[in-house]
A and B are shown apart, each in its own frame.
Chain A
Amino acid sequence: MNTTRSKPAASLPPRRGVRSLRRLGGLCMLCAMMSACGPVLNDPYPAAERGENILYTAFTQQPKHLDPVQSYSEDEASFLYQVIEPPLQYHYLKRPYVLEAGVADQMPSVRLYDAAGRELPADSDPAKVASSVIEIRIRPGILYQPHPAFARDDSGALRYAALGAEALRAIRSPVDFAETATRELEAGDFVHQIKRLASPHLHSPIFELIAEYLPGLKKLQAQLLAEARETPGWVDVGRFELEGVEVVDRYTYRIRLKGIYPQFLYWLTMPFFGPVPPEVDRFFGQPGMAERNLSLDRWPVGTGPYMLVENNPNARMVLARNPNYRHDTYPCEGAPGDAEAGLLDDCGKVVPFVDKVVFSREREGIPYWNKFLQGYYDASGVSSDNFDQAVTMTSHGEVNLSEDMEQKGIRLLTTVSPSIFYLAFNMLDPLVGGGENASAADSDRARKLRQAISIALDMEEFVSIFLNGRGLPAMHPIPPGVFGAREGERGINPVVYRWVDGKAVRRSHDVARRLLAEAGWPDGRNARTGEPLVIHLDTTPGGLGDKARSDWLAKQFRELGVQFVVRPTDWNRFQDKVRLGNGQLFFFGWNADYPDPENLLFLLYGPQGKVKYQGQNASNYVNAEYDALFDRMKVMPDGAQRQAVIDRMIAIIQRDAPWVFGFYPKSYSLQHGWVHNRKPGSIVRNGLKYQRLDVEARARARMQWNAPVRWPLAVLVLALLVIALPAFLHWRRHEHATAVRVRATGRGD
């Protein structure tokens, strides 16, 4: 027995040696593989990209649509606006936002006509204007990105216009086609895209709105629908006429609108009105393309500074420099302070500066933030999770970068977004709105109740607690930077604030209690019956009315003696409640499509009522004077007269208080010191072409910040050995043990 047991012991040293060697070999292999990755080991990008002029950024939500006729979200704009060039754009630096020509030769002229077709002067009475004509001339010589849809064979026919299933077998993206070509941008491409707005399969989100103004768009949709029923598959919109649009010559097209619609020029900055070449539309319309996810919705084609070369919305999207991009230069004028901030240093230089833009998908905030700190993303937002790490706030509410960030050369950019978040009262609710057929007295009581609540809900505190100060308490629907918003004493909401020592001070709870008593609810009890006043907040889980915020709101209401009940519901039911007018008080928000007061004040325009007209007026507020003023204001040019009308409109809604004007969100953005020319402004979405990188500085910083620490690996191995040692000793003891204790003589007990 002893002999048998001694066998493993005898063979132990070589086996242990072999095992150790294997371990060591494995470790060496791991180290070798890691070393092969380059001087830094945690670089998430391929070694071939090192030192390249590539801007790295991230996206959290995958884009749903990249077809310019459908795309309407901020997530998609980051990609699409770099590829598709509409006729107009916003000046990159000037604030307030200024419209300028994009691919258009100059700002288009708008001509007004009466019903008899006679041209009217520009300052005509809008009531007399029957139609307005916008003539757009595009710059000659602009070329599209290289694309297989433009490739032609020797006979001049399109090479890839009749592809069969066999030809498409190995194709996964437009990059897989052997041949590409380009062609010049023409006026017809813009007209083709406008016709696509009517396509029944594309579901353009702005179809209804544009069809109100563009004659023939609804008729075209009916024709396309009939055509689609008869011939399934792709429908060539080019074969149909659209009454309101015509090609004048190769570089000019004309849009005729019903009546007058000055805001239409803002729509001309959006990809909805960008060019789509008919041959590209036809190329993607071929059978078999959609099955391979080859469509304009995934592979937009344009004349912009960049072209989409990789589209994996689950992992990464890559924009590469368009080799055919027109001669375009960095602006030489900007807003006050831009020159001091170095934003005019590249004046007159040819753009784009960056060769490639890599967008990586990051679903979680922690890895996104850490990769930014490691230098692997050139810019980042500031979320609540990392706010304290990034930003410090002084006792005066000033925002500064934290010391760590400053040491890294990171810069903080802030801007107020052209958006508003508000608490809407449902004006159809008998308690807070007075109801649909309320008497004057009831309406007055409900108004005072709304005013009292507006005073009691301390939005300064809300912004400070829940947004880390990333918001400005709102006084009315128009955010700063948009025409119509006033600053200083004239800009405050006098119902809620007083102007004291040069700043707005919220009125006291005593004022709110007095208003509450006047509304028939002294101390939060019904003056007649003694019943408590109960206010219901309709909200969605995770929305602005979530638990912590609801608790805060309840505390605010308690100050007035008002009971507060939260009615949480899922998003769909919440939308139903708002649509059917069953809510009482709810959070809502709006991101302006364009920087015009019309796009914000219409949120309280009677004919936009949610319940009656399925419009955007979620509180169903109706005020005849306000509506009449809105009709006037929306067709007025910016100026003193328009400002006066806006002032009056704002005074009406401040008095009526259909909303608790919540806050205008402030956007905080961080960028590394090697990123230049980045100016925040959510309305300007095509700004990537202006950004410049100091690639060497980035490489140096990455090396410095990401030096690998290898000794923990050795410690880890050592620790494992230390842990394994008692196990080994135990095993050896076990293997050498006998069933009975052996004496020195070798005989058992």
Chain B
Amino acid sequence: MLAYVLRRLLYAVPILLGVNLLTFLLFFVVNSPDDMARIQIGVKRATPEAIERWKVDRGYDKPMFFNEAERGTAKLTDTLFFDKSLRMFALDFGRADDGRDIASEILERMGPSLAIAVPTFLLSLFASITFALLLVFFRASYLDFWGVVLCVAMMSVSSLFYIIGGQWLVSKLWALVPISGYAGGLDSFRFLVLPVLISVIAGLGSSARWYRTIFLEEISRDYVRTARAKGLSELAVLFRHVLRNALIPVLTGVVVVIPLLFMGSLLVESFFAIPGLGSYTIDAINAQDFGVVRAMVFIGSVLYIVGLILTDLSYTLVDPRVRLA
């Protein structure tokens, strides 16, 4: 297994290089270093001299990929691409264009993002699997029919509606929790309860329907009939046997998401003023801050790759027949 993990990690290197290259190219197709300088200095009085000085100071005056003025390896290393992108492989994220340290900014914002993402993830998983299993339990009955109708209705509504409606109902009309804001420690509970609840409800319809489909496929297998024949209650059959055997497709969708929880949620964090990572990339794109954009894309890619490896590893835990070689 170790060899498999090492091999997958080695595969990750060219993938990350490619992602970096793409990010670099896409960013600089849209934004030139001059544009970036103009944003930072302020459009109002940005003179060509000031723009040039900013570029020199921040290293954006270098050639993109190949520096003909240099000798030897410096032809490749004394370039914008090497300087701004490849250093990240050493986890050196550098500074944002406004001078703030990107690594410490990410660490600072990660806590609030996780505070909302982890409970949402766990509760969503629990609620949708339970709901889906119950639908399977009530299959072919009017409860199943109306349950599916409810799922379709829930997934047809925009998550923005859940957020605005939830804020209006729970915070404004009933005045039970703050509309938005965040606090650390135990006090965070009253700020997180509504966004978590809304996120769980907003995601319930689609995921419950997906899990229901998986479980329905499993319910007609021989081992299920055997379990019933042994006299097990239907709930025990569903929760002990069907759920365990249906875990592979469930894990495929779930485990890969776990590392990405760090990245936060844009919409929920924005509306509930949670100071997380959700909006960091968007803010950086708006501010044309390449430093932050490349760092966030890089971290996102790394986390996604980690998620995929973890998914593969999780298969071996739930299905002894799976071997990673």
- Residue of B42, B99, B235 near A72 (CB, 8 A) is B42
Residue B73 at the chain A interface, CB threshold 8 Å = no
**In the complex, chain A residues 274-308 whose Cβ is within 8 Å of any chain B Cβ:** 290-293, 295, 297-298
Q: Which of B42, B57, B183 has most chain A Cβ within 10 Å?
A: B42
Q: How far is the CB of B277 from chain A (nearest CB, A)?
A: 9
Residue B177 at the chain A interface, CB threshold 8 Å = yes
Contacts known (A46-B183, A295-B99, A708-B174); A572 close to B32, Cβ less than 8 A: yes
- Residue of A33, A360, A614 near B47 (CB, 8 A) is A614
- Residue of A4, A295, A374, A616 near B172 (CB, 8 A) is A374
B100 nearest in chain A by CB position:
A293
- Residue of B109, B171, B191 near A314 (CB, 8 A) is B109
**In the complex, chain A residues 567-586 whose Cβ is within 8 Å of any chain B Cβ:** 570, 572, 575
Contacts of B54 in A (CB 8 A): 203
Contacts of B42 in A (CB 8 A): 72-73, 205
Residue B66 at the chain A interface, CB threshold 8 Å = no
Give complex CA distance A734, B287 in Å: 60
B180 touches A203 (CB 8 A): no
Contacts of B108 in A (CB 8 A): 312, 314
Q: Which of A42, A291, A312, A373 has most chain B Cβ within 10 Å?
A: A42
Contacts known (A62-B283, A360-B273); A1 close to B189, Cβ less than 8 A: no
Contacts of B53 in A (CB 8 A): 200, 203
Contacts of A612 in B (CB 8 A): none
A292 touches B104 (CB 8 A): yes
A292 touches B101 (CB 8 A): yes
Residue A98 at the chain B interface, CB threshold 8 Å = no
Q: How far is the CB of A209 from chain B (nearest CB, A)?
A: 6
Q: Which of A1, A203, A291, A707 has most chain B Cβ within 10 Å?
A: A203
Number of interface residues of B (CB under 8 A): 67
Give complex CA distance A706, B41 in Å: 44
Contacts of A208 in B (CB 8 A): 45, 47, 49-50
Q: How far is the CB of A377 from chain B (nearest CB, A)?
A: 11
Give complex CA distance A37, B112 in Å: 20
Interface string of B123-139 (1 = CB under 8 A from A): 00000000000100110
Residue A364 at the chain B interface, CB threshold 8 Å = yes
Contacts known (A44-B180, A65-B98); A614 close to B143, Cβ less than 8 A: no
Residue A124 at the chain B interface, CB threshold 8 Å = no
Interface string of A585-603 (1 = CB under 8 A from B): 0000000000000000000
Q: How far is the CB of A74 from chain B (nearest CB, A)?
A: 11
Give complex CA distance A707, B108 in Å: 34
B270 touches A64 (CB 8 A): no
Contacts of A43 in B (CB 8 A): 178
**In the complex, chain A residues 1-60 whose Cβ is within 8 Å of any chain B Cβ:** 1, 4, 8, 33-34, 37, 40-46
**In the complex, chain B residues 287-301 whose Cβ is within 8 Å of any chain A Cβ:** 287-288
A211 nearest in chain B by CB position:
B49
A291 nearest in chain B by CB position:
B101
A734 touches B234 (CB 8 A): yes
| Interface SS, B side | helix
A42 touches B41 (CB 8 A): no
Q: Which of B164, B175, B279 has most chain A Cβ within 10 Å?
A: B175
Residue A727 at the chain B interface, CB threshold 8 Å = yes
Contacts known (A293-B100, A293-B101, A370-B171); A42 close to B31, Cβ less than 8 A: no
- Residue of B30, B178, B235 near A570 (CB, 8 A) is B30
Contacts of A570 in B (CB 8 A): 30
Give complex CA distance A726, B137 in Å: 13
B183 touches A364 (CB 8 A): no
**In the complex, chain A residues 294-329 whose Cβ is within 8 Å of any chain B Cβ:** 295, 297-298, 312, 314-315
A315 touches B182 (CB 8 A): yes
Q: How large is the interface on A (under 10, 10 to 19, 20 to 34, 35 or more residues)?
A: 35 or more
- Residue of B30, B40, B49, B95 near A572 (CB, 8 A) is B30
Q: Which of A65, A200, A366 has most chain B Cβ within 10 Å?
A: A366
- Residue of A290, A614, A708, A726 near B101 (CB, 8 A) is A290
B175 touches A706 (CB 8 A): yes
B99 touches A364 (CB 8 A): no
Give complex CA distance A647, B10 in Å: 74
Interface string of B222-260 (1 = CB under 8 A from A): 000000000101110000000000000000000000000
Residue A712 at the chain B interface, CB threshold 8 Å = yes
**In the complex, chain B residues 28-71 whose Cβ is within 8 Å of any chain A Cβ:** 30-32, 35, 38, 40-50, 53-54, 57
Residue B90 at the chain A interface, CB threshold 8 Å = no
B273 touches A34 (CB 8 A): no
Contacts of A727 in B (CB 8 A): 134, 138, 143
Interface string of A688-719 (1 = CB under 8 A from B): 00000000000000000011111011000000
Give complex CA distance A4, B228 in Å: 12
Contacts of B49 in A (CB 8 A): 208
Residue B271 at the chain A interface, CB threshold 8 Å = yes
Contacts of A710 in B (CB 8 A): 174, 176
**In the complex, chain A residues 191-209 whose Cβ is within 8 Å of any chain B Cβ:** 200-201, 203, 205-209
A734 nearest in chain B by CB position:
B234
Residue B173 at the chain A interface, CB threshold 8 Å = yes
A31 nearest in chain B by CB position:
B176
Q: How far is the CB of A200 from chain B (nearest CB, A)?
A: 6
Residue A639 at the chain B interface, CB threshold 8 Å = no
Give complex CA distance A34, B35 in Å: 49
B181 touches A364 (CB 8 A): no
B176 touches A361 (CB 8 A): no
Q: How far is the CB of A54 from chain B (nearest CB, A)?
A: 15
Q: Which of A295, A364, A730 has most chain B Cβ within 10 Å?
A: A364
A203 touches B275 (CB 8 A): no
**In the complex, chain B residues 187-234 whose Cβ is within 8 Å of any chain A Cβ:** 187, 189-191, 231, 233-234
Q: How far is the CB of A281 from chain B (nearest CB, A)?
A: 15
Contacts of A523 in B (CB 8 A): none
A374 touches B179 (CB 8 A): yes
Give complex CA distance A206, B164 in Å: 43
Give complex CA distance A572, B51 in Å: 14
- Residue of A290, A363, A374, A734 near B273 (CB, 8 A) is A363
Residue B141 at the chain A interface, CB threshold 8 Å = yes
Contacts of A370 in B (CB 8 A): 167-168, 171-172, 179
Residue A367 at the chain B interface, CB threshold 8 Å = yes
B190 touches A364 (CB 8 A): no
**In the complex, chain A residues 215-266 whose Cβ is within 8 Å of any chain B Cβ:** none
A221 nearest in chain B by CB position:
B53
Residue A114 at the chain B interface, CB threshold 8 Å = no
Contacts of A362 in B (CB 8 A): 180, 273
Residue B272 at the chain A interface, CB threshold 8 Å = yes
A207 touches B50 (CB 8 A): yes
Q: How far is the CB of B72 from chain A (nearest CB, A)?
A: 22
B278 nearest in chain A by CB position:
A363
Q: Which of B109, B141, B167, B179 has most chain A Cβ within 10 Å?
A: B179
Residue A731 at the chain B interface, CB threshold 8 Å = yes
B180 touches A40 (CB 8 A): no
- Residue of B32, B38, B173 near A709 (CB, 8 A) is B173
B31 touches A572 (CB 8 A): yes
Contacts of A616 in B (CB 8 A): 44-45
Give complex CA distance A315, B44 in Å: 28
- Residue of A72, A360, A363, A366 near B167 (CB, 8 A) is A366
Q: Nearest 3 pairs between A and B by C-beta?
A: A315-B275, A44-B181, A44-B178
Q: Other CB < 8 Å A-B pairs besides A200-B53, A207-B50, 9 of them?
A: A40-B175, A203-B41, A314-B275, A362-B180, A363-B271, A367-B272, A371-B179, A572-B32, A614-B48
Residues of A within 8 A of B (CB): 1, 4, 8, 33-34, 37, 40-46, 62, 64-65, 72-73, 200-201, 203, 205-209, 290-293, 295, 297-298, 312, 314-315, 360-364, 366-367, 370-371, 373-374, 376, 570, 572, 575, 614, 616, 706-710, 712-713, 726-727, 730-731, 734-735
Residues of B within 8 A of A (CB): 30-32, 35, 38, 40-50, 53-54, 57, 95, 98-101, 104-105, 108-109, 112, 134, 137-138, 141, 143, 164, 167-168, 171-183, 187, 189-191, 231, 233-235, 270-273, 275, 279, 283, 287-288
